[in-house]
Amino acid sequence: MIIGYTTGVYDMFHIGHLNILKRAKEQCDYLIVGVSTDELVQHDKHKTPIIPFIERCAIVQAIRYVDKVVPQLDKNKLAAWEKYKFKKMFVGSDWQGTPQWKEFERQFTPLGVEIVYLKHTDGISSTALRAKILKEY
């Protein structure tokens, strides 16, 4: 069985989120999705999600491609691997080549974990939605 893992904030769930989850599930048997807590988002992005953590988890869990939702309390991917023993970790292609993900590649290659970069859906993001809402209202 191939266990897959991906994480995200999933604030204002949109087609880009759905595309990532669908493409990830196509490449694994069991997909675990880490949803960032409100505290992690505030710490890392210095903003509060529009949709509260519990509701974001419920939305993601309702997606048919998702087998399990877990809280993402921090960005420690090795600790997540120790807990869930995934074979594939999925992330949007917009992260490919960044120092952070090059380091994850270095850490996970000896463990036999494949990092799969999934095509980013251009033209949509929660940040863009937030900006549009603020501009129009």
**Assigned token pair, 35:** 């949803």
Q: How confident is the model at residue 113 (pLDDT cuts 50, 70, 90)?
A: very high
Burial of 113 (0-12, 13-18, 19+ CB in 10 A): buried
Length of the chain: 137
Q: Is the pLDDT of residue 21 over 80?
A: yes
Q: Is the pLDDT of residue 137 over 90?
A: no
For residues 110-124, average pLDDT: 88
Q: How confident is the model at residue 136 (pLDDT cuts 50, 70, 90)?
A: confident
Candidate from 5-9, 43-47, 129-133 with smallest mean pLDDT: 129-133
What is the C-alpha R_g of the chain? 15
Instruction: Go through the domains of the chain in sequence order and give each one's CATH number.
Output: 3-136 (3.40.50.620)
Active site residues: 45, 47
**Assigned token pair, 43:** 């710490």
Q: How confident is the model at residue 2 (pLDDT cuts 50, 70, 90)?
A: very high
Predicted model pTM:
0.90
- Tell me the residue type at 70: V
Do residues 71 and 37 make contact, with C-beta atoms less than 8 angstroms apart? yes
pLDDT of residue 123: 67
Rounded to the nearest 10°, the torsion over CA 54, 60, 62, 67 is: -110
Q: Is the pLDDT of residue 108 over 80?
A: yes
Mean pLDDT of the chain: 92
